Amino acid sequence: MKYKPTAEDKRIIRKCAEKDAGKNRVEICASTRVSLVRDIKECPPNMNVAFLTDDGDFGDTDLWDNSYAWSDFTKGVELTDDGRGVFDFWVYSVGHWAQLETNVTAYYKDGKLVRVDGTGNPNMWEAK
């Protein structure tokens, strides 16, 4: 199911990324992950972790690539047929000495953003 994140989704994720990083401005990169237990030909790397695993902490996956731009996410992503999505974002400071600050993870259920977690900061935002 193709899904285009709403302006509100993007605002929430960005605010959580800035807060978790402790910065007023950040660069957000979407990552793709790969299954560590399923054949790569049958289960290729994906931006939506829900296609790779049902493990809540996605411990049976690993980072494949973290160089996707924020716009790769915001242009539209695939959710599972039942509307699930788990998206892992790498959050960097900006400027000459930019560095990785944190990660935030956005969770979708039934085609709606339901939660955003930060590194060591669960439930930064939760739908009411």
Residues 6, 11, 16: CA angle, nearest 5 degrees: 130
Amino acid at 123: N
d(CA 120, CA 6): 26
What predicted TM-score, i.e. pTM, was given to this entire model? 0.93
Structure tokens of 1?
A: 């199911």
| CA atoms lying within 13 Å on the CB side of residue 50 | 20
Single-letter code of the amino acid located at 40: I
The whole-angstrom separation of Cα 114 and Cα 112 is 6
Q: Rounded to whole angstroms, how far apart are CA atoms 86 and 107?
A: 5
Q: What are the extents of the domains in the chain?
A: 2-118
pLDDT in tens, 43-84: 899 999 999 988 777 889 989 998 889 999 999 999 999 999
Q: How do residues 9-43 score in pLDDT, each as one tens digit? A: 999 999 999 999 999 999 999 999 999 999 899 98
